[in-house]
Amino acid sequence: MKAGTWIHRAAPAAGCFAIALLSAAAARVEPSAPDSVADKMAQRAQAMLAALPGDLSARATTAHADPERTLWAFGPVQRAGLAIGALDVGQVKALEALLDTALSAEGMTMWRQVRQLERELRRLESTPERVAAHRDPDLYWLRVYGDPDPAQRWSWRFEGHHLALHVDCRPGRTPSITPLFVGASPGITAGQEARADGEEIEATVDVLGALNQAYQAALELGGDTLPGSEAPRPRDIRMGPGGDTLPAKDGVSLADLSPEVRDQLTTLLTTYLELVDEPLRAPYHFDPQRASAVRFMRWGEGGLNGARAWTLLTPRFALELFTTEGPNHVHTVLRDIDRDFGGK
């Protein structure tokens, strides 16, 4: 596989995350059976914790009933837990081995790109008088809730700027992985280590442009069911921290869109889901027999500059993509109200 091939094979990935920056080829691994995913997570979490001295292990763990388990953020803020910066090389490898149980090969490449962007943001935002210390690739935190044992319920979280992954494990059930948030800024940089070539930049713009075309079709078919121009434009993703309900079912039914637009939106969802291991993404595919129950919504003008929002909403889950400053700053989130943080 040529470096960066996954971005071109599934072009909407560039639109979702705008992180087609590092030339990193990753071999796809064979998917595991759902029960072995949970077992592997428990084994690697145990190995990770065993690699830590007592003080670091204490920072990495807390009770499953801790209320902060269901609090989350995607900004450059402090978290509870154990930051990567406190780990040595071997401990970082143990942490990434745990991450690899939830993320696919593409997802692991994404994580390294998101972390690399923090270095770029520090460079861009620092001045001779002040270093942008809050932009730090070592400020990503692990937190384990409960005892990682396949025979009982436990959870783990990995969070930092522009990445939020929440995994819940319980016996007899495939682990849940929502809320799942991925962002990117700057998506297109001039850095030597984080450089998007012209083809990748063009792919980013083309994908968002295609979604705008899909919006035009939705506008024609949806009529007054779409938010009018007087509706307040969201400041950011609506399904962010603190939200516990899916958005209202505005927009247009997927069944009423052309096959080309349906394919584009289905590919958008599929590309996002390909960041996680195959068994974990199984609950989040469209049912072709229930296309009328899937809604597509968009906010913003026809161009790509400024704030824009796209939402795919099903009866069970929703995917939302938001560009805060145009295609160079993207926020994307998957929410499943019934299974967020493992559900009840």
Same domain, residue pair 144 and 267: no
- The average confidence (pLDDT) of the chain is 77
| Chain segment 234-255, per-residue pLDDT in tens | 667 778 887 777 777 777 888 8
**5 burial level (CB within 10 Å; 0-12, 13-18, 19+):** exposed
**In sequence order, what DSSP letters do the residues of 241-266 get, joined into one string?**
TT--SPPP--SEEGGGS-HHHHHHHH
| Chain segment 20-39, per-residue pLDDT in tens | 322 222 233 333 444 589 99
Same domain, residue pair 90 and 163: yes
Same domain, residue pair 108 and 218: no
User: Does residue 1 carry a pLDDT above 50?
Assistant: no
This prediction's pTM: 0.80
Same domain, residue pair 178 and 202: no
Instruction: Among 184, 210, 225, give the residue marking a domain's end.
Output: 184
Same domain, residue pair 131 and 158: yes
Range of the domain at 281: 198-342
Q: What is the pLDDT of residue 218?
A: 54
Same domain, residue pair 84 and 160: yes
Q: What is the pLDDT of residue 192?
A: 36
Number of domains composing the chain:
2
Q: What is the pLDDT of residue 199?
A: 44
Cα–Cα distance between 91 and 138 in angstroms, integer? 13
Q: What is the pLDDT of residue 159?
A: 97
User: Does residue 193 carry a pLDDT above 50?
Assistant: no
Same domain, residue pair 218 and 177: no
Cα–Cα distance between 283 and 318 in angstroms, integer? 12
Same domain, residue pair 104 and 237: no
Q: What is the pLDDT of residue 336?
A: 92
Same domain, residue pair 101 and 139: yes
% of the chain with per-residue pLDDT over 90: 38
Cα–Cα distance between 318 and 313 in angstroms, integer? 4
Contact 319, 312 (CB under 8 A): yes
Same domain, residue pair 227 and 83: no
Place of tokens 């394919």: 263
Cα–Cα distance between 115 and 120 in angstroms, integer? 9
Same domain, residue pair 128 and 35: yes
The sign of the CA dihedral 6, 8, 11, 17 is positive
Contact 177, 340 (CB under 8 A): no
Residue 191 in any domain: the answer is no
| Chain segment 60-69, per-residue pLDDT in tens | 999 999 999 9
Contact partners, residue 320, CB within 8 Å, separation at least 6: 237, 238, 239, 247, 309, 310, 311, 312, 332, 333, 335
Contact partners, residue 168, CB within 8 Å, separation at least 6: 153, 155, 175, 176, 339, 341, 342, 343
Contact 27, 118 (CB under 8 A): no
Q: Is 60 helix (H, G, I), strand (E, B) or coil?
A: helix
